[in-house]
Homo-oligomer: A and B are copies of this chain.
Amino acid sequence: MRVIAIDLMGNDLGVKPMVMAAFAFVKKFQDYRLILVGNMEQVEQVTTETHERIDFIDIREEIRTEKTARAGRDGGNSMATAINLVRNGEAEGVLSTGNSGALLSMATLNLKRIIGVKRPAFMPLMPTENEGKKFLLLDAGANLETTSDMLVQWALLGSIFAQVVLKVQNPRIGILNVGTEDEKGLEATKEAHQELKKNNEINYLGFFEARDLLKGNVDVAVVDGYAGNFILKTMEGTALSLLKMIKTSIKTKLRYKIGALLSKGAFKSVRQNLDYRHVGAA
């Protein structure tokens, strides 16, 4: 039996999505037990259902900002409580949709890092032009200052994750850079590039540019957290703005409107494929 601790608080949509997901999950996966940590009053408004493999811990305080993460070590809020379940060996992993900066600092402080990994990275699963095909982007913004060591470690981490969790054989790894020539980019990026070229453990393809990001040419895209954060948010913003522009443009003529009604389903599937809320992150 595997045990996962789940922080119910801090989600923009309240506790409901996480509670519903938890019940769906235990029904689908028989060998998992879940410990849900959060405001029980709110949970009871969502469901009165119980399950033999779901336990609850009633914590009404929610962590709000990164700044309170250090204070949170004492366990007064739901996120700290969930993390401490892993620390004490009562759970093997922790899931949260709360403040990501706070999650990062508290997990690093309380659970420590894997030996050989200098800094954790945010690693969302990103969509590509080919529906259903995804790639890992790391670091998407956990670190502002990145060294070549960190980039090399993330390349290895991403490669292992892609193999074990996403079941990709021999995952293709690339470093996102401002150009594809060896001499382009920051010093740390160039050093990591040289280091990875010599590494036989992973399938390193070299530098690639952000304009090819969604083509699905790599399974793992490695980048410093500063650029990674801009890339993630630019993608999100561009996609949303573009869909809005199309919508506005369609409204200008009746013929466009009729056409759009007929092809609506096509847009829905694209929108779902792109929506980062439909994918998890590590």
A residues neighboring B (CB under 8 Å):
128-129, 131, 141, 144, 176, 178, 185-186, 209-215, 226-227, 229-231, 233-246, 248-250, 252-253, 255-267, 269-270, 273-274
Contacts and interface: CB of A to CB of B under 8 A. Distances in A.
A228 B228 CA distance: 12
Contacts of A141: 178
Contacts of A253: 265-266
Given A211-B234, A235-B234, A241-B129, A270 B256 contact: no
A259 B264 contact: yes
B210 A237 contact: yes
Contacts of A241: 128-129, 213-215
Total identical chains: 2
Contacts of A186: 144, 226
A118 B233 CA distance: 29
Given A230-B227, A230-B230, A259-B263, A236 B252 contact: no
Nearest to A227: B230
Contacts of A258: 259, 262-263
A237 B255 contact: no
A234 B250 contact: no
Contacts of A178: 141, 144, 226, 229-230
Contacts of A255: 262-263, 265
A226 B228 CA distance: 11
A239 B242 contact: yes
A253 B267 CA distance: 12
Contacts of A240: 211
A169 B261 CA distance: 40
14 contacts: A129-B245, A176-B230, A178-B230, A186-B226, A211-B233, A213-B237, A227-B230, A238-B238, A238-B239, A239-B242, A252-B266, A255-B265, A259-B259, A262-B262
Contacts of A270: 242, 245-246, 249
A214 to B, nearest CB: 4
Contacts of A263: 250, 255-260, 263
A242 B253 CA distance: 23
A143 to B, nearest CB: 11
Contacts of A239: 238, 242
Nearest to A235: B238
A228 to B, nearest CB: 9
A237 B208 CA distance: 12
B238 A266 contact: no
Contact of A233 (B131, B210, B226): B210
Contact of A231 (B215, B230, B248): B230
A222 to B, nearest CB: 13
